[in-house]
Amino acid sequence: MTTTIERGRPGVRPVKAAPPGRRPGRIRRIGLPYLLLLPALVLELLVHLVPMVIGIVMSFKELTQFYIRDWGTAPWAGLDNYKLSVDFNAPVGEALLDSFLVTVAFTLLSVGLCWLIGTAAAIFMQDTFRGRGLLRALFLVPYALPVYAAVITWVFMFQHDNGLVNHVLHDQLGITDKPSFWLIGDNSFWALLTVSVWKGWPFAFLIVMAGLQNIPRELYEAAALDGAGIWQQIRRITLPSLSPVNQVLVLVLFLWTFNDFNTPYVLFGKAAPEAADLISVHIYQASFVTWNFGAGSAMSVLLLLFLLAVTGVYLALTSRGRRPADA
Amino acid sequence: MAPPRSFLWTRRLFLTLLTGFVLIPVYVMVSSSLKPLADVTGKFRWLPSELTIRPYIDIWSTVPLARYFVNSLIVAGAATVCSVVIAVFSAYAVSRYNFRGKRVFTVTVLSTQMFPGILFLLPLFLLYVNIGNATGIALFGSRGGLILTYLTFSLPFSIWMLIGYFDSVPRDLDEAALVDGCGPLGALFRVVVPAAIPGIVAVAVYAFMTAWGEVLFASVMTNETTRTLAVGLQGYSTLNDVYWNQIMAASLVVSVPVVAGFLLLQRYLVAGLTAGAVK
C-alpha cells in the first residue's frame, strides 16, 4: 500500500519541450498537476465531500418525510438524533446496539474465514500441478459473479420447501429433524455468513497469490538445503513474508464486510431478521422505511466515527516498527 | 524435493472441499435454469425431470430484461470509461509531480474507501432531488445520476491502484520522452499509459464489476425506465409465483458477460494488484 514517492526532483525537466507559441514557464508547470487533478477533485467534491457535509448537517435536523422536498427548512433537532441513537434503553437505541453487535460478530467471523480459506488456497496452489489453472479460474467465479445473481441463487438454495440446503440436511442426510427456516430467525446469521464467505474469500485468495509472487525463491531453496520440510517452510517463510500484505488485506476486508449492504439486502430484503440485521441495512431501514432521515444520518455519522477509530488504531498498531507510510 | 504425502493429502482434501463449496451454487444456477417450473416449485431435485430452454425464452417477456440489460451496460460502461480516464490523469499527477496538497489529496482519496455507502445515500438522494427541483436537471432517477454515483465508488480505488502502477514505470522513460520534445501529456499517453496497460485494464475490470453489481444506489435512484439489472431481477417474483427457473436463467445471462470478461482479464488484475496494492 505504501507507494514510494520520495522524489526530490520537482516537476518536469527544463521547458525545452514547450512548443513555440505557448507560454512556457512556471505557471504552466506549477498549474499542471492541479489541472490533471481537476476532474477527480470536482467529482470527489460533488459526490463525497458535499454529501458528507450535508449528512452531518442532516444529523442535527428533525428530518422526516414532510421535509424531503426542501430539507433546509426542517427544524433543528440539536443532539436529539444522537441521543435517540445511543439511548440503549429505548427501542431505537437498543435496536441499533443489537445491530452493531451482530455486525461486529459477523464481520470478525467472515473476515477470519475469508482470510483463512483464501490464504490456504493460495499457499496450496503456489506450486504447479495438473489442473491448477482451471481450478484458479473456477475459484475466482464467486468473486466475479454480480452480487445479486450470486446471492439470489443462495436465496433459492435456502428456501424452506424447495431449497437444496434443507433437501440435503433433512431429506438426504437426516441431520435435522424437520426442514429449517434459513432466511428468518436465528439461522439467518449462519446463512448470511455462508454467503458472505463464499463471495468474499476469492478476494483474499487473489491478494495472497499476488503477495506470494514477491517472495524470493532463494529463501525456500536455502531453507530446503537446511533441511526444513514444507510445513516448516510455510510457517517460517511464507506466513511471515505475507504479513505486510495481510495487514492491508485484513483492513480492506474488514471495511468492506462491515459496510456491506448488497449481500444482506438481496438475501433478506428491506427488513433483515434480527439475528442478521447488519448495520447498513438497519440504517437504510431506519431512514427509508420509517422515514426518519435525521436519525438515519446520526447513525451513519456514528458508524463513520467508529470505523475511523478502528482504522486509526489498526494502522497505528500495524505500522509500528516500519517506516511511516508515505502516502 | 517432492512434497511429503501429508502435504499432498491435505492439499487434495482441502481443494476438493473448496471446489464443492464454490461449485454447488453454480451448479444450482445452471441446472435450475434448465428445469420446468414444476421442478423448482416442489422439492429440490439434483437432476431436472426434463431439460427445457423455456426459461431462457420467457425471461425476456416476464420482465423487460433487455431494457434493464441496456441500462446496466450504459451505466456500467460510462462509469468505467470516465473513471479510468480521470484516474489516469490524477494518478499521473500524483506519481510524477510534487505539489502542495498532494498528501491531503491521496489521504482523502484513500479514506473515502472506508466510508459506508449508506452515509452517502441519504445526502445524495436529497442533493439530487434538490438539484432537480432547482435547475430541472434530472439526476434523481436518471442514468446520469447513477453514472455519477458509481464513478466515485470506483474512482478512489482506481486512482490508488494506478499511482502504484505508474510508480513502477521507470521515470527515465517519460523523462526521455520529454527531452525528445513530448509535452507532459504526450509523455503520459505515448510512454506511461502503454507501459501501464495491465494496471489500467485491471482498474477498468474492477470499475465495471463494481457498477454492474451495485444494488443499494440502483434500488433507490432508478425508476421504471432507468432500472438496472440489479433491481430488475426482483421482478420475477410475483405475489402468486416465484419463477425460480427464470430467475436462475436471468442470473446466468447477466453473469456471463462479467464472468467471461473477468476470467479473460484476470491475469491483468493479478498483475495490477501486485504492482498497485501489494507493495
Cβ <8 Å between B278 and A55: no
**B2 close contact with A: CB closer than 8 A:** no
End-to-end CA distance of chain B: 30
- Give the model confidence (pLDDT) of A45-98 as tens digits: 888 888 889 889 888 988 777 777 677 777 787 888 899 888 888 888 999 999
Q: How far is B106 from chain A (nearest CA, A)?
A: 6
Contacts of B278 in chain A (CB under 8 A): 207, 210-211, 214, 245, 248
Question: B249: nearest CA in chain A?
Answer: A149
Quick one: pLDDT at residue A2? 41
Quick one: pLDDT at residue A29? 62
Quickly state the pLDDT bin for A324 (edges 50, 70, 90): very low
A64 phi, psi to nearest 5 deg: -110, -175
Quick one: pLDDT at residue B183? 85
d(C-alpha A73, C-alpha A263), whole Å:
36
**A309 close contact with B: CB closer than 8 A:** no
Quickly state the pLDDT bin for B17 (edges 50, 70, 90): very high
Task: Set out the domains of chain A in order of their start, with CATH numbers.
Answer: 18-58 (no CATH), 65-326 (1.10.3720.10)
More confident residue, A320 or A324: A320
Cβ <8 Å between B118 and A16: no
Quick one: pLDDT at residue B142? 86
B222 bridge partner residues = B141
Q: How far is B31 from chain A (nearest CA, A)?
A: 11
More confident residue, B110 or A227: A227
Of residues B109, B126, B254, nearest to A54 (C-beta): B126
Cβ <8 Å between A284 and B90: no
Quickly state the pLDDT bin for A320 (edges 50, 70, 90): low
Average pLDDT over residues B86-94: 94
Question: B270: nearest CA in chain A?
Answer: A210
Quick one: pLDDT at residue A113? 98
CA proximity to A191, closest of A119, A118, A273: A273
**B86 close contact with A: CB closer than 8 A:** yes
Quick one: pLDDT at residue B87? 95
Of residues B92, B127, B273, nearest to A50 (C-beta): B127
- Give the model confidence (pLDDT) of B184-213 as tens digits: 888 888 889 998 888 899 899 889 998 999
Question: B107: nearest CA in chain A?
Answer: A327
Identity of the amino acid at A206: L
Quick one: pLDDT at residue B274? 65
- Give the model confidence (pLDDT) of B32-85 as tens digits: 999 999 899 888 999 999 999 999 999 999 899 999 999 999 999 999 999 999
Q: What is the mean pLDDT of chain B?
A: 88
B-interface mutation test, from A96, A145, A196, A267, most B Cβ less than 10 A away: A145
Quick one: pLDDT at residue A1? 42
Q: How far is B26 from chain A (nearest CA, A)?
A: 8
Question: B263: nearest CA in chain A?
Answer: A137
- Contact between A296 and A96 (Cβ < 8 Å): no
Quick one: pLDDT at residue A23? 47
d(C-alpha B271, C-alpha A86), whole Å:
45
HSE at residue A168, side-chain half, CA atoms within 13 A, is 9
Contacts of A211 in chain B (CB under 8 A): 278
- Give the model confidence (pLDDT) of A287-297 as tens digits: 877 778 888 99
**How is B192-220 classified by DSSP, letter by letter?**
IHHHTHHHHHHHHHHHHHHHHH--HHHHH
Of residues B124, B233, B279, nearest to A3 (C-beta): B279
Cβ <8 Å between A210 and B178: no
Q: Is the pLDDT of residue A251 over 70?
A: yes
Quick one: pLDDT at residue A325? 43
**For the whole model, what pTM was predicted?**
0.88
B237 bridge partner residues = B242
The grid coordinates listed for B275 are 504492482
Average pLDDT over residues B104-123: 82
Q: Count of H helices and E strands in chain B?
A: 14, 0
Quick one: pLDDT at residue A139? 95
Quick one: pLDDT at residue B276? 55
Of residues A44, A70, A121, nearest to B108 (C-beta): A44
Quick one: pLDDT at residue B175? 86
In chain B, residues 43-82 whose CB comes closer than 8 Å to chain A: 43-44
**So what's the ipTM on this one?**
0.90
- Give the model confidence (pLDDT) of A85-137 as tens digits: 888 888 889 999 999 999 999 999 999 999 999 999 999 999 888 899 999 99
Contacts of A113 in chain B (CB under 8 A): none
Contacts of A54 in chain B (CB under 8 A): 123, 126-127
Quick one: pLDDT at residue A176? 85
Average pLDDT over residues A233-239: 92
Placement of cell 516498527 in the chain? A321
CA proximity to A139, closest of A214, A239, A206: A206
Average pLDDT over residues B93-103: 90
Question: A1: nearest CA in chain B?
Answer: B277
Residues A160, A146, B278, B116, Cα dihedral to 10°? -80
Question: A68: nearest CA in chain B?
Answer: B126
Cβ <8 Å between B179 and A13: yes
Cβ <8 Å between A327 and B216: no
Quick one: pLDDT at residue A321? 46
- Contact between A220 and A233 (Cβ < 8 Å): yes
CA proximity to B162, closest of B83, B265, B276: B276
Average pLDDT over residues B155-179: 87
What lies within 8 Å, CB to CB, of B276 at 6+ separation is B160, B161, B162, B163, B164, B165, B199, B202
Question: B149: nearest CA in chain A?
Answer: A47
- Give the model confidence (pLDDT) of B216-253 as tens digits: 899 888 888 899 999 988 888 876 788 999 999 999 99
Contacts of A135 in chain B (CB under 8 A): 15, 19
**A27 close contact with B: CB closer than 8 A:** no
HSE at residue B256, side-chain half, CA atoms within 13 A, is 8
**A158 close contact with B: CB closer than 8 A:** no
Q: Is the pLDDT of residue B279 over 50?
A: no
d(C-alpha B103, C-alpha A111), whole Å:
30
Contacts of B196 in chain A (CB under 8 A): none
In chain A, residues 265-304 whose CB comes closer than 8 Å to chain B: 265-266, 279-280, 283-284, 287-288, 293, 296-297, 300-301, 303-304
Q: How far is B268 from chain A (nearest CA, A)?
A: 11
d(C-alpha A58, C-alpha B127), whole Å:
12
| CA-to-CA separations, A287 to A60, A173, A258, B54, B215, in angstroms, rounded | 14, 43, 19, 41, 17
**A160 close contact with B: CB closer than 8 A:** no
Quick one: pLDDT at residue B80? 96
Average pLDDT over residues A149-158: 96
**B87 close contact with A: CB closer than 8 A:** yes
- Contact between B207 and B84 (Cβ < 8 Å): yes
Percentage, residues of chain A above pLDDT 70: 88
Q: How far is A184 from chain B (nearest CA, A)?
A: 18
B-interface mutation test, from A16, A36, A303, A319, most B Cβ less than 10 A away: A36
Q: Is the pLDDT of residue A18 over 50?
A: no
Out of A36-45, A46-55, B9-18, B110-119, least confident range: B110-119
The grid coordinates listed for A83 are 441521543
Quick one: pLDDT at residue A177? 85
Question: A167: nearest CA in chain B?
Answer: B44
Quick one: pLDDT at residue B26? 96
